[in-house]
Structure 1
Amino acid sequence: MDMHKHHVKHNKSLNVLKTAKGQVEAVIKMVEDNRYCIDISKQILASISLLKKANSQILKEHLETCVREAAYSKEVSEIESKIKELENIIEYINKTL
Protein backbone atom coordinates (compact mmCIF):
# COMPACT_ATOMS: atom_id res chain seq x y z
CA MET A 1 0.00 0.00 0.00
CA ASP A 2 1.21 3.48 -0.82
CA MET A 3 2.24 5.02 2.51
CA HIS A 4 1.16 8.48 1.35
CA LYS A 5 -2.41 7.30 0.86
CA HIS A 6 -2.30 5.69 4.29
CA HIS A 7 -1.00 8.93 5.83
CA VAL A 8 -3.69 11.06 4.20
CA LYS A 9 -6.44 8.74 5.42
CA HIS A 10 -5.23 9.06 9.02
CA ASN A 11 -5.52 12.87 9.04
CA LYS A 12 -9.08 12.72 10.45
CA SER A 13 -7.93 10.46 13.26
CA LEU A 14 -4.90 12.64 13.91
CA ASN A 15 -7.12 15.68 14.42
CA VAL A 16 -9.28 13.76 16.90
CA LEU A 17 -6.16 12.55 18.74
CA LYS A 18 -4.78 16.09 18.95
CA THR A 19 -8.11 17.24 20.40
CA ALA A 20 -7.94 14.40 22.94
CA LYS A 21 -4.38 15.42 23.81
CA GLY A 22 -5.59 18.95 24.51
CA GLN A 23 -8.37 17.61 26.70
CA VAL A 24 -5.96 15.41 28.67
CA GLU A 25 -3.69 18.40 29.19
CA ALA A 26 -6.72 20.36 30.44
CA VAL A 27 -7.60 17.51 32.82
CA ILE A 28 -4.06 17.55 34.22
CA LYS A 29 -4.39 21.28 34.83
CA MET A 30 -7.78 20.72 36.52
CA VAL A 31 -6.20 18.16 38.86
CA GLU A 32 -3.27 20.47 39.57
CA ASP A 33 -5.76 23.25 40.35
CA ASN A 34 -7.69 20.90 42.67
CA ARG A 35 -10.93 21.36 40.72
CA TYR A 36 -14.20 19.63 41.57
CA CYS A 37 -13.97 15.84 41.12
CA ILE A 38 -17.12 15.49 39.03
CA ASP A 39 -15.91 18.15 36.59
CA ILE A 40 -12.59 16.34 36.26
CA SER A 41 -14.37 13.04 35.73
CA LYS A 42 -16.54 14.52 32.97
CA GLN A 43 -13.45 15.77 31.15
CA ILE A 44 -11.75 12.39 31.50
CA LEU A 45 -14.83 10.70 30.03
CA ALA A 46 -14.85 13.19 27.15
CA SER A 47 -11.19 12.33 26.47
CA ILE A 48 -11.96 8.61 26.53
CA SER A 49 -14.80 9.19 24.06
CA LEU A 50 -12.44 10.97 21.65
CA LEU A 51 -9.88 8.17 21.91
CA LYS A 52 -12.58 5.60 21.16
CA LYS A 53 -13.65 7.65 18.14
CA ALA A 54 -10.08 7.84 16.84
CA ASN A 55 -9.65 4.09 17.33
CA SER A 56 -12.87 3.39 15.42
CA GLN A 57 -11.72 5.63 12.58
CA ILE A 58 -8.34 3.88 12.41
CA LEU A 59 -9.94 0.42 12.40
CA LYS A 60 -12.44 1.47 9.72
CA GLU A 61 -9.59 2.71 7.53
CA HIS A 62 -7.77 -0.57 8.13
CA LEU A 63 -10.81 -2.48 6.91
CA GLU A 64 -11.25 -0.23 3.88
CA THR A 65 -7.58 -0.39 2.86
CA CYS A 66 -5.44 -3.22 4.21
CA VAL A 67 -8.16 -5.82 4.70
CA ARG A 68 -9.82 -5.01 1.36
CA GLU A 69 -6.48 -5.23 -0.45
CA ALA A 70 -5.75 -8.58 1.16
CA ALA A 71 -9.17 -9.91 0.13
CA TYR A 72 -8.78 -8.71 -3.46
CA SER A 73 -5.26 -10.14 -3.65
CA LYS A 74 -6.70 -13.64 -3.11
CA GLU A 75 -3.52 -14.52 -1.19
CA VAL A 76 -4.86 -16.89 1.45
CA SER A 77 -2.02 -16.31 3.91
CA GLU A 78 -2.49 -12.53 3.73
CA ILE A 79 -6.26 -12.86 4.19
CA GLU A 80 -5.75 -15.19 7.17
CA SER A 81 -3.25 -12.74 8.65
CA LYS A 82 -5.70 -9.83 8.44
CA ILE A 83 -8.50 -11.93 9.93
CA LYS A 84 -6.24 -12.94 12.83
CA GLU A 85 -5.28 -9.30 13.43
CA LEU A 86 -8.94 -8.32 13.60
CA GLU A 87 -9.76 -11.23 15.91
CA ASN A 88 -6.95 -10.15 18.23
CA ILE A 89 -8.01 -6.52 18.33
CA ILE A 90 -11.66 -7.47 18.93
CA GLU A 91 -10.56 -9.73 21.78
CA TYR A 92 -8.46 -6.92 23.24
CA ILE A 93 -11.33 -4.42 22.96
CA ASN A 94 -13.67 -6.84 24.74
CA LYS A 95 -11.16 -7.21 27.60
CA THR A 96 -11.03 -3.45 28.11
CA LEU A 97 -14.79 -2.88 28.21
Structure 2
Amino acid sequence: MNEERKKVLQALKTSKGQIEGIIKMIEDERYCIDISNQLMAAQALLKKANLLILRQHLSHCVKEAIIHDKGDEKLDEVMKLLSKFID
Protein backbone atom coordinates (compact mmCIF):
# COMPACT_ATOMS: atom_id res chain seq x y z
CA MET A 1 0.00 0.00 0.00
CA ASN A 2 1.44 3.36 -1.00
CA GLU A 3 1.66 6.45 1.22
CA GLU A 4 -1.33 8.15 -0.41
CA ARG A 5 -3.59 5.20 0.33
CA LYS A 6 -2.28 5.02 3.90
CA LYS A 7 -3.29 8.67 4.35
CA VAL A 8 -6.74 7.93 2.94
CA LEU A 9 -7.16 4.95 5.22
CA GLN A 10 -6.10 6.99 8.26
CA ALA A 11 -8.54 9.79 7.40
CA LEU A 12 -11.36 7.26 6.98
CA LYS A 13 -10.57 5.52 10.24
CA THR A 14 -10.48 8.86 12.03
CA SER A 15 -13.80 9.90 10.50
CA LYS A 16 -15.27 6.53 11.49
CA GLY A 17 -14.27 7.27 15.08
CA GLN A 18 -15.77 10.72 14.83
CA ILE A 19 -19.05 9.35 13.47
CA GLU A 20 -19.21 6.82 16.29
CA GLY A 21 -18.65 9.72 18.70
CA ILE A 22 -21.40 11.74 17.01
CA ILE A 23 -23.84 8.85 17.39
CA LYS A 24 -23.00 8.72 21.09
CA MET A 25 -23.46 12.49 21.37
CA ILE A 26 -26.94 12.19 19.85
CA GLU A 27 -27.82 9.27 22.11
CA ASP A 28 -26.63 11.33 25.10
CA GLU A 29 -28.73 14.28 23.87
CA ARG A 30 -25.73 16.59 23.69
CA TYR A 31 -25.97 20.22 22.57
CA CYS A 32 -26.95 20.53 18.89
CA ILE A 33 -24.18 22.98 17.99
CA ASP A 34 -21.56 20.60 19.42
CA ILE A 35 -23.00 17.77 17.32
CA SER A 36 -23.05 19.97 14.23
CA ASN A 37 -19.41 20.95 14.74
CA GLN A 38 -18.43 17.29 14.95
CA LEU A 39 -20.44 16.50 11.82
CA MET A 40 -18.56 19.22 9.93
CA ALA A 41 -15.24 17.84 11.15
CA ALA A 42 -16.18 14.36 9.91
CA GLN A 43 -17.28 15.80 6.55
CA ALA A 44 -13.94 17.60 6.23
CA LEU A 45 -12.06 14.35 6.76
CA LEU A 46 -14.19 12.55 4.18
CA LYS A 47 -13.57 15.38 1.73
CA LYS A 48 -9.83 15.13 2.38
CA ALA A 49 -9.92 11.36 1.79
CA ASN A 50 -11.86 11.82 -1.44
CA LEU A 51 -9.43 14.43 -2.72
CA LEU A 52 -6.48 12.15 -1.94
CA ILE A 53 -8.14 9.30 -3.86
CA LEU A 54 -8.88 11.58 -6.82
CA ARG A 55 -5.30 12.89 -6.82
CA GLN A 56 -4.02 9.33 -6.89
CA HIS A 57 -6.42 8.44 -9.71
CA LEU A 58 -5.22 11.39 -11.78
CA SER A 59 -1.55 10.74 -11.02
CA HIS A 60 -1.67 7.06 -11.81
CA CYS A 61 -4.74 5.77 -13.64
CA VAL A 62 -5.43 8.76 -15.88
CA LYS A 63 -1.76 9.36 -16.59
CA GLU A 64 -1.27 5.71 -17.54
CA ALA A 65 -4.38 5.74 -19.74
CA ILE A 66 -3.14 8.83 -21.59
CA ILE A 67 0.21 7.16 -22.23
CA HIS A 68 -1.63 4.19 -23.76
CA ASP A 69 -4.03 6.31 -25.85
CA LYS A 70 -7.03 5.54 -23.66
CA GLY A 71 -7.12 8.91 -21.94
CA ASP A 72 -10.50 10.03 -23.27
CA GLU A 73 -12.26 7.28 -21.38
CA LYS A 74 -10.59 8.21 -18.07
CA LEU A 75 -11.12 11.92 -18.64
CA ASP A 76 -14.83 11.26 -19.21
CA GLU A 77 -14.92 9.42 -15.89
CA VAL A 78 -13.31 12.34 -14.10
CA MET A 79 -15.63 14.86 -15.76
CA LYS A 80 -18.68 12.80 -14.76
CA LEU A 81 -17.46 12.74 -11.18
CA LEU A 82 -16.68 16.46 -11.15
CA SER A 83 -20.16 17.21 -12.45
CA LYS A 84 -21.50 15.74 -9.18
CA PHE A 85 -19.53 18.37 -7.25
CA ILE A 86 -20.81 21.20 -9.43
CA ASP A 87 -24.51 20.22 -9.40
Fold similarity call, TM over 0.5: yes
Is the contact made by 2:63 and 2:71 (CA closer than 8 Å) also made in structure 1? no
Q: Deviations over 1:52-72 (max 9, x none)?
A: 000000000000000111112
SS of the residue 1:55 aligns to: helix
* Percent sequence identity over aligned pairs: 45
Ranges in structure 2 where 5+ consecutive residues have no aligned partner: none
> Could you tell me the TM-score, scaled by structure 1's length?
0.84
1:46 matched residue in structure 2: 41
After superposition, what is the alpha-carbon deviation per residue over 1:11-39, rounded to whole angstroms, capped at 9, x for unaligned?
11011000000000000000000000000
After superposition, the CA RMSD in angstroms is: 0.9
Helix, strand or coil for the counterpart of 2:34? helix
In the aligned structure 1, how far is the partner of 2:77 from the partner of 2:48?
20
TM-score relative to the length of structure 2: 0.93
Misfit runs of 4+, over 4 Å: none
Question: How many residues matched?
Answer: 86
Correspondence for 2:26 among 19, 22, 31 = 31
Match of 1:56 in 2: 51
